[in-house]
Amino acid sequence: MASLPLGPHQPPPPPAHDPAALTLAPPLPRPEMADNKQGSLVEASEPVTGHIISTTIGGKNGEPKQTISYMAERVVGTGSFGIVFQAKCLETGETVAIKKVLRDKRYKNRELQLMRSMDHSNVISLKHCFFSTTSRDELFLNLVMEYVPESLYGVLRHYSNVNQRMPLIYVKLYTYQIFRGLTYIHTVPGVCHRDMKPQNVLVDPISHQVKLCDFGSAKVLVKGEVNISYICSRYYRAPELIFGATEYTTSIDIWSAGCVLAELLLGQPLFPGESAVDQLVQIIKVLGTPTREEIRCMNPSYTEFRFPQIKAHPWHKIFHKRMPPEAIDLTSRLLQYSPCFRCSALEACAHPFFDELREPNARLPNGRPLPPLFNFKHELAGASPELINKLIPEHVRRQSGLSFLHPAGT
């Protein structure tokens, strides 16, 4: 069997339902990051095919300076943030994605700082960055990342176009890696993504490695600090955000990831709200009316509001009859009204739904090996020995010469 056909390489247009979202189709990464690379260049207002961008990197700590030139090839993502375009490095021939963001003093741009703090195989990483200006003296930040041609949204569209469901092995492989990436960003740098959706999950069509991208909405959440509630694309927005909560946790990403899992299983969004209010209606149709205590957990200010009493729709009736009970169980643990009752990303990784990936002979359908799934590091700090033993298969521990992995991953 050939590698999974992922449809055309032209990234899909952003769906019409994404209101507050940053719509991206694009990039990815695994290089060594140099420090702050700042380019000196004047360019046109928009990169176009054939436009060449030159910048200088290095020059710190005795490193020699070197000039790198990129030829812009095509735009692969657009949004309120700016654009993402595919480019080729003229010196090496390497294809990259460059995210070009206007530096607006009115808004905080945390993306560069956050991306510098992250290093994980399931998270987009930064090659380098530079600044550029236009003839109107606008200043742009350019983030240079590895280019990966597919997004999970494109994969979903492919299966929809051929009227097929995504094979369960791919559902497991993609969602497991999403939770691995979330485990890392939630625990090591302490970052909340705040815009998890299929468009922001990139898939390598050969290795099927997944990487989280677009940290334009991401933030390190500090307890007691107020955050905006109008965040995250509507279909994937956690109910506490709809209720206007400003003190939320990384569990909003868990809700979003649960929505992504359900969408992969169903082939369509689980909660396709047409407005913020309708989004809550769609959720209530499935989960039923939240209890007073659940509303208090989401936003204490809303406890006096009255909602029509609707019973929860049984999960097994939402999915088709042959859906494995483990898939339904995991979905139900992710999509809980009370943020504190949602499982963590690490607990999700250990769920029996992913046991097939932990089998000694687990392979891609074409016989190729799976991408790296068990090379945990700092994200296991604080995890119980029982949880760690679930996460690291025995055959992996044997190969590593470890009978037991300590919580610190040592």
> Which amino acid is it at 400?
S
Is 355 one of the annotated active-site residues of the chain?
A: no
- φ and ψ of 71, to 5 deg: -100, 120
Give kind and range of the element (H or E) at residue 330. Answer: helix 325-334
CA distance linking residue 229 with residue 255, whole number of Å:
15
CA distance linking residue 67 with residue 29, whole number of Å:
21
Sign of CA dihedral 390, 393, 398, 401: negative
Strands 139-147 and 27-28: antiparallel
Answer yes or no: is 100 a known binding residue: yes
How far CA 34 is from CA of 58, 92, 126, 308, in Å, comes to: 7, 17, 9, 56
Whose CA is closest to 213, among 154, 126, 155, 140?
126
CA distance linking residue 75 with residue 26, whole number of Å:
9
Give kind and range of the element (H or E) at residue 202. Answer: strand 201-203
How far CA 198 is from CA of 85, 116, 249, 268, 391, in Å, comes to: 19, 23, 21, 11, 25
Strands (E), 62-183: 66-79, 82-89, 95-102, 126-133, 139-147, 150-151
> Which amino acid is it at 188?
V
Q: Where are the alpha helices (DSSP H) in 162-311?
A: 168-187, 239-242, 251-266, 276-287, 292-298
CA distance linking residue 408 with residue 410, whole number of Å:
5
Active-site residue identified among 18, 35, 104, 195: 195
Catalytic residues: 195
Binding site feature residues for ATP = 100
Binding site feature residues = 100
